Amino acid sequence: MQTLPQARPLAGILWMVVTGLMFVAVTAIVKYVGQDIPAAEAAFLRYILGLVFLLPMIGPILAARLTSRQLCLFGLRGVVHTFAVILWFFAMARIPLAEVTAMNYLSPIYVSLGAALFLGEKLPPRRMVAVVVALIGALVILRPGVKAVELGHIAMLGTAIFFAIGYLIAKQLSGEVSPAVVVGMLSITVTIGLAPFAFAVWVTPTLPQLGWLFLVACFATAGHYAMTLAFAAAPLTVTQPVTFLQLVWAVLLGVTVFGEVLDGWVVLGGMIIMTSVSFITWREAVARRAIMPAAPATKV
């Protein structure tokens, strides 16, 4: 069995740290801009401004000669991802950064459940226990009956579910077309899907707001690229736990920039969920199967 060079795990960890910083920058900008622009419009502008990064993918998409079935699957993924992104932008403007980040870790758990229910994947007892533990982590964050569960929290639950559905569809397509086609078609379909929702609530954005949303597209693209480099450098069992640092950055940013109150329960709940996700990832690596997304799916 081929082993990674000694320095590669360190490189993978460093690239995953960069990934976390990029995605936290995305959430921070969205939270800042989302207070003035409706969620659907902000999401649409982020995607349409990011279409410049789609240019290198046009060739592979045209060369793929997609079938009617594949186009339908890409369309379905675009629909569910559209709702996921709208809900995510909505939640960002209403609940603390730390809570958004922690609850987003639930997407891999939903993927595991969805793969068992709809794709015939096995759900052994140990993984089922890990799923239950992750859901307990979500309850620790929400603490229903102890604190108010806001619309932003409900939106984040929906976000994680829709992202998980999108990932399961992408899993079906990833064995048929190249990654460039999968990513490119997602950008196209989501931009189209967001358009009617954006125009229904349209507020004319200022030039600075457009600049901020273009930065969102830049940081998101950089995050995806850094994450790809991390996966190429080290196995998931090395890079997966590092994604918990996103919660650390989100907590620090929320407290120092947005004046949010540090909630230890949110951090504890995020740690419980992340531990569960890391355990499932490790078990999949042992079994030499990978049905889980490699990182939380806040891939906007």
pLDDT in tens, 185-243: 988 999 999 999 999 999 999 999 999 999 998 998 888 778 777 877 777 667 777 77
Rounded distance, CA 127 to CA 109, Å?
10
Name the residue among 154, 171, 8 with its Cα closest to residue 90. 154
What's the sign of the alpha-carbon dihedral 268, 253, 257, 106? negative
Rounded distance, CA 83 to CA 96, Å?
20
Q: What dihedral do alpha carbons 21, 27, 33, 34 form, nearest 10°? A: 180
Q: Which residue has the higher pLDDT, 78 or 183?
A: 78
Is the per-residue pLDDT at 144 higher than 70?
yes
Could you tell me the pTM of the whole model?
0.81
Q: Which residue has the higher pLDDT, 241 or 23?
A: 23
Phi then psi dihedrals of residue 144, to 5 deg: -60, 135
First and final CA of the chain: distance in angstroms? Answer: 36
pLDDT interval class at 299 (50, 70, 90): low
pLDDT interval class at 3 (50, 70, 90): very low
pLDDT in tens, 105-121: 888 788 878 877 777 77
pLDDT interval class at 145 (50, 70, 90): low
DSSP 8-state class, residue 116 = H
Q: What's the rounded mean pLDDT across residues 53-66?
A: 87
pLDDT interval class at 2 (50, 70, 90): very low
Rounded distance, CA 104 to CA 106, Å?
5
